Amino acid sequence: MFEPVETGAAPADTGYTAGGAPTFEMVREKIETRFGTSIGSQELAAQTPEGRRVEEQFEARQKAAAEKLEEIRRSMKADGNG
């Protein structure tokens, strides 16, 4: 009935093997693209006023948490000595 016609051109790289599994190159490309997008998004967010405010709030919470932890450690040390 129908016979395959060869065009002489190399088959297009679809990113998948004949069995349907993604190739290493395709997976690597996807990961690199997502990583680049993530880094770019973070950089853009840090440049906005909202992004800076969120960063300042995070740093304030980190400082408060460290101070609270130190307070708990001091109280535990005092309880152990008494």
**3-state SS assignment for residue 22:** strand
Confidence (pLDDT) at 35: 96
Check: pTM over 0.95? Answer yes or no: no
Residue 4 pLDDT:
56
Sign for the pseudo-dihedral over CA of 26, 31, 32, 37: positive
Q: Which segments of the chain have a pLDDT < 50?
A: 10
Share of the chain above pLDDT 70, in %: 83
Coil, strand, or helix at residue 39? helix
Given this model, what pLDDT does residue 15 score? Answer: 87
- Write down the H helix ranges in the chain: 24-47, 49-81
pLDDT digits (tens, 9 = 90+) for 30-51: 999 999 999 998 888 888 998 8
